[in-house]
Structure 1
Amino acid sequence: MGLAASRAPAGAGMIDYHKTYRSLEKALESIEEKGERSSTLAGILEAIVAGPGESLGITGGRLYAADPDRAHYRLEHTVGRSGRARPGFTVSTDYRPIQRLLQEGFLLMEEDDPDFDASIEGRVGARRFAAITVGKDGRHFIAFTLGEPIDPVRAVYLLGTIRHVINLRLTQEHLLHDLAEARQIQLSLLPEGPPDFFNFDIAARSVPADDVGGDLFDYPLQTPKNLGVVIADSCGHGLPAALMARDVITGLRVALDVQYRLTTAVERVNRVVAKSALASRFISLFYAEFEPSGNLVYCNAGHPPGLLWRAGRITRLKRGGMVLGPNPRARYERGFEKFPPGSTLLLYTDGITEAVSPAGKFFGAGRLERLLRETRHLPAETIVERVFAAVDQWSPTPRADDQTVFVIRRP
């Protein structure tokens, strides 16, 4: 009989749903993703039959996958009692139990059911079985051989729980796979090390709050006469923020490659962000170009101001315009500064200044400026380390936002 037609009587509440759920979760904890969906499902099937399966009355299990034309389901893996059938055995999608299974999502069948075909089920050694579809695409289903008759109400709860736990696991693995890919994208955009530009001393570090962050830094322009550096911070963090930051850095590289003026390049990237599928998001950006002579030109698109130490004082570099994204027609302006020997530029994202102490106070730009005064004479890498150490001491809890520090010195 189809499980969708069953109704739970008053006594159904005695079924320990949570205990069953926990036992299934525990059985699947050791199962690692195998890359291929079928391999992962085979491991899950083995864990269920060998673990909580016995207490659920399961004596064997089979994993089926649809052929490309969806005309047959092919047996891919067996566990426990599975009769004479071997991987490769096929069942037509015209078989009525399969049609019922695909329609309802799960099925319980005894040999006295009119749709039960003994010639098919005898091959897999089943006189009664339960089956569930797994995943969202209908490509796989799992069938369990049942040793004894099972109460239909109990079957509803048990099969529903098994199906939910498996689908939750598959969804989790899919998300982790997407995150891993996004992480690889992000890492591919981060430079391996600073460029060699005369005697400039350069260091940077980015630490995401999640597996994937929305902060990025880069050196999009490197010529014998110019060095371009950029730091960007996409609103929020995680996968959407990382994808947005990726698009901005890539767009800036392309714009500079065709020799657009600094502000023209930023304006073109802004229009791309405003028209993107993630137009509800925005991103701040600070871009600067250095010349060997010490000239510095920059554009600050809604980013925390760069801190320039020069001749005994700190100058906040604010000139530019609004964040990228909200207004596709926004205009941006350049800022000009001198960067003589002894100067240090500290760039950062708001995850640094907005790190919160246990007392609920921000780290703040003032503390960052004092830290720059104290460390300005040190190597760039040491300054970066000191900033992160100070922030970690101030805010010992897990990071609530991505954090990036970028230091350029001219000894």
Structure 2
Amino acid sequence: MLLQTRIILFVLATLAVVAGLLIGFSSLREEAANQQARELELNGLDTAWQLAVAGAAGRIDQSLGRLAGDPEILRALVAEERGTLTARVTALGLLSGRAGQGGADKGGETVSDVNLFAANGTLLYSSDPALDAAPLLNRALLDPVLAGQRLARGVRLLDGNRLIVMAGAPIYGAVSGDGVVVGAVVAGLGFPAALDVLRKNTGGRVFAVGRDGSPLDGASDPLWSAVRQRINPADREMQLLRFDGHRYALASLPVADLAGGRVATVLIATDITLAMEEHALWSVAYGVAVLLVLVLALGLLYGYLRQNFTVLDGAVQALQDISHGRAMGYVELPSGNDEIGRISGAVDVFRGVMREIERTAGQRERRLRRQQRFIRRQMEALAVTLEDEARQSLLEELRQIESETHDADSSQSRGVGDELGLLALGFSRLATRVSTQQVQLTQMVRDLRDALADKRRLISLQQELEIARTMQLTILPQVFPELAELDTAARMIPAKEVGGDFYDFFPISEDKIAVVIADVSGKGIPAAFFMLIARTMLRAIAESGVGPAETMRRVNNLLAAENEQMMFVTVFYGELDLRTGVLAFSNGGHNPPLRVTRDGAVIELERCQGIALAVMPDMPFAEKSLRLDAGDMVVLFTDGVTEAFNGSDTMYGDARLVEAVGRQVTASAREGLDGVLSDVARFTAGAPQSDDITCLVLRWRGAAGA
């Protein structure tokens, strides 16, 4: 075989091997790029699904806000009134009926499921009409909500076959001036609502199947016949399928339940027919281009060898002629036109080619470095918009990426694609942080809006409480009748806007005056309501003239009969005969009044049998009486006077009260009242008032006849 033929065959084999390796490496790189593209597409679709669930949960938040902010629902939750909760939720019109697996709720502010829980976790209301309706959340998921934390939004499997998107929130109430969790509200929306948002966001054809592969949504789509043959519910993957002349990328995304575990699979089919056709055309074009380059290279090589081997052929022919004795065949060869020279020429050609390749590679490397510097500046500019901690973390990651790039350059272990992959990773992390910060800012704006709404409601409540305070004070007697026999003064100072103490002074006949002082258990609005009820009943029964003991007994029975809140009231009730100065009285667990005689002695009125009203029905009450001497003063008070504390947590006490009352021997009723209350105020010296303070002072001047 001729030398030129061997060289041509060797070069041909070499080029074929190189071409095969190039095509193989290109195929492997293309497959890796396709795998990375599929993973990125799955991540993007997974994010789109999370956004779809968040969008559906956002619609639920509107209903949660209306339920959690409704005062009637708040009151019914505290009182655990199931009937009131049912009526109020129905009146709000939030329920749109349950959305099945084949359709979605189209309302803007309606939900398909609602649960209301008490603070102890008891289910007080469920939109499920079944008698043994299961709660939307089990106790493990409900406890964080009752602890005042926001419930993570997500998908929930109910009744073993019904999927909903749900969200929950705690309900806060005002008790003793502090906002505490008094219950929780959980609402759900049909699972197809999230699928509709996903269709809108992705523009693809969306399907959903259960854990067993049964269709939940999209079965009416003609593409379903091809999709159901590719369903693998437990895997997160991207598949290719053909249908009706089109090619689709089918993504499978498992859906997790709030309690853990897979409950469904969402499938998204995207038409990639045009992209696949374009890719096929580029592949064919690439193959044809490689083949043309090989043919052209072989043709040029063959021509080059044929041209340069012509002299050698002549020399060989001349040698053959000489060997056969034919000198005429001798051909003088040009100098340097031997095989070594030709090989040297070929090496020079290859050296020039390699020099051009290196120059081109250097230009490409410099261009890549400029691009990397530009990308880093852009990433640093974006990092400025992040919070300090996130910005420092991102800059540290950039430094790590640069370090890995330098290591790759020094070790020659990475290529341009690896460096671009590192930059792509940095961009991905930056995008994640920017998205996270945007979500946090959105949540902060929503929380600020809720706080402003709560502030407006608080201001409204304070205005209403001030009106209630004014009304309560006007109910109690402020001006006492001018009597020749009796001088009277009284005052009630509530610890909060409204109080539970009260006093009263009213005639029950032409010759008898009733005096009352009482203290309801607790403070605030509940005590004020109970005070009004007790005062009304006491006045109504006392005016019948049955006497102190019988009056107390009847009032006790009436209050105890309807006392579901287990409240009670201590009462001192007396009837003063203006003709004789005899004070008949009965005491229901109240502090005994103090009597100040003309000589300055302070005597506690005799105690008599009787417990606080509303504790137990049919309890006996004793009745005592005493005759007042002209000039005697009687001071009635509640425990808010004796149990007042100063800044050192020292109690005012009975001894100080006796001393203060003893100094009012010659004072009028108004002066004596002011003297006692002023002494209490000096003692507390601006310390917070812990209980209602009420005091009533009587100065007996003597019978009219005397």
1:316 correspondence with 2:607: no
Q: Which residue of 2 aligns with 1:81?
A: none
- Give the 3 Å change call, closer, same or farther, for CA 198–362 of structure 1 in structure 2: same
Q: Note the 1:315-334 alignment, pairs <5 A.
A: 315-317=603-605, 318-334=607-623
SS of equivalent to 1:321: coil
Question: Alignment partner for residue 264 of structure 1, among 544, 550, 559?
Answer: 550
The correspondence of residues 108-147 of structure 1 with structure 2, limited to 5 A, is none
User: Which of 627, 631, 634 is residue 342 of structure 1 equivalent to?
Assistant: 631
Give the aligned residue type for 2:632. Answer: S
In the TM superposition, 1:236-385 aligns within 5 A as 236-277=522-563, 279-293=565-579, 294-312=581-599, 313-317=601-605, 318-385=607-674
Q: What residue in structure 2 maps to residue 400 of structure 1?
A: 690
Q: Are the equivalent residues in 2 in contact too, given 1:233–1:285 (CA < 8 A)?
A: yes
Deviations 1:211-236 (A, max 9, x none): 11111111143432011110111122
Distance 1:269 1:162 in 2: 50
The structure-2 alpha-carbon separation of the partners of 1:274 and 1:360, relative to structure 1 and needing over 3 Å to count, comes to same
Higher relative contact order, structure no. (Cα contacts within 8 Å, ≥ 6 residues apart): 1
1:189 matched residue in structure 2:
475
Following superposition, the deviation at residue 113 of structure 1 comes to 8.3
Q: Partner letter of residue 273 of structure 1?
A: L
Structure holding more strand per residue: 1
Aligned equivalents of 2:481, 2:547: Cα separation in 1: 22
1:391 corresponds to which letter in structure 2? V
Contact 1:267 1:330 in 2 (8 A): yes
Change (3 A) 1:175 1:274: farther
Shift of 1:70: 6.0
Give the deviation of 1:178 after TM superposition. 5.0
Q: For residues 194 and 222 of structure 1, do their structure 2 counterparts lie closer, same or farther at Cα, with a shift above 3 Å needed?
A: farther
Cα displacement (A) at 1:202: 0.6
- The residue that corresponds to 2:252 in the other structure is none
Task: Give the alignment partner of residue 509 of structure 2, picking from 213, 217, 223.
Answer: 223
| Structure with larger Rg | 2
Q: Which amino acid aligns with 2:450?
A: H
State the partner residue of 2:428. Answer: none
What is the aligned-residue RMSD (CA, Å)?
3.8
Cα 1:328/1:177, change in 2 over 3 Å: farther
Q: Distance in 2 between matches of 1:206 and 1:218?
A: 11
1:199 aligned to 2:485?
Answer: yes
CA distance in 1, matches of 2:525, 2:649: 27
Change (3 A) 1:275 1:115: farther
TM-score (norm 2): 0.38
Unpaired segments ≥5 residues, structure 1 = 8-36, 38-67, 72-93, 107-111, 117-149
Opposite residue 585 of structure 2, the aligned amino acid is Y
Deviations 1:302-353 (A, max 9, x none): 1111101235333312224111122212111111101121110001111111
Equivalent residue for 2:677, pick from 388, 392, 400: 388
Equivalent position amino acid for 2:487 in 1: D
CA distance in 2, matches of 1:311, 1:358: 35
Bigger shift: residues 312-321 or 221-230: 312-321
- Asked if structure 1 preserves the Cα contact closer than 8 Å seen for 2:488 and 2:697, the reply is yes
Name the CA distance, whole Å, in 2 between partners of 1:204 and 1:4: 62
Per-residue CA distance 1:168-213 (angstroms, 9 max, x = gap)? 2354245435524532442242113112333311101110111111
User: Partners of 1:357 and 1:382 in 2: how far apart?
Assistant: 24
**Which residue of structure 1 lines up, in the alignment, with residue 49 of structure 2?**
none
Q: Is the 8 A contact 1:213 1:402 kept in 2?
A: yes
Distance, in Å, in 1 between the alignment partners of 2:647 and 2:168 is 49
Go from structure 1 to structure 2 and tell me whether the alpha carbon gap of 1:271 and 1:171 turns closer, same or farther (over 3 Å shift).
farther
Q: CA deviation at 1:3?
A: 3.5
Residue correspondence of structure 1 range 80-91 to structure 2 within 5 A: none
Q: Where does residue 80 of structure 1 map in the other structure?
A: none
- Amino acid paired to 1:193: V
Q: Which SS does the other structure have where 2:443 is aligned?
A: helix
Task: Tell me which residue corresponds to 1:235.
Answer: 521
- Structure 2 counterpart of 1:407, one-letter code: V
Assess if the C-alpha contact under 8 Å between 2:597 and 2:665 holds in 1.
no
Secondary structure of 1:176's counterpart equals helix
Closer, same or farther in 2 for the Cα pair 1:196/1:156, shift >3 Å? same
Residues in 2 aligned to 1:327 and 1:100: alpha-carbon distance in whole angstroms: 47
Structure 2 partner of 1:17:
none
**2:508–2:542 contact (8 Å) kept in structure 1:** no
Count of aligned pairs between the two proteins:
302
User: Unpaired runs of 5+ in structure 2?
Assistant: 1-51, 59-70, 72-90, 95-104, 115-165, 170-196, 202-434, 702-706
Conservation of the 8 A alpha-carbon contact between 2:596 and 2:634: yes
- 1:161 maps onto 2:457 in alignment: no
Point out the structure with the larger helix share: 2
The percent of aligned pairs where both chains have the same amino acid is 26
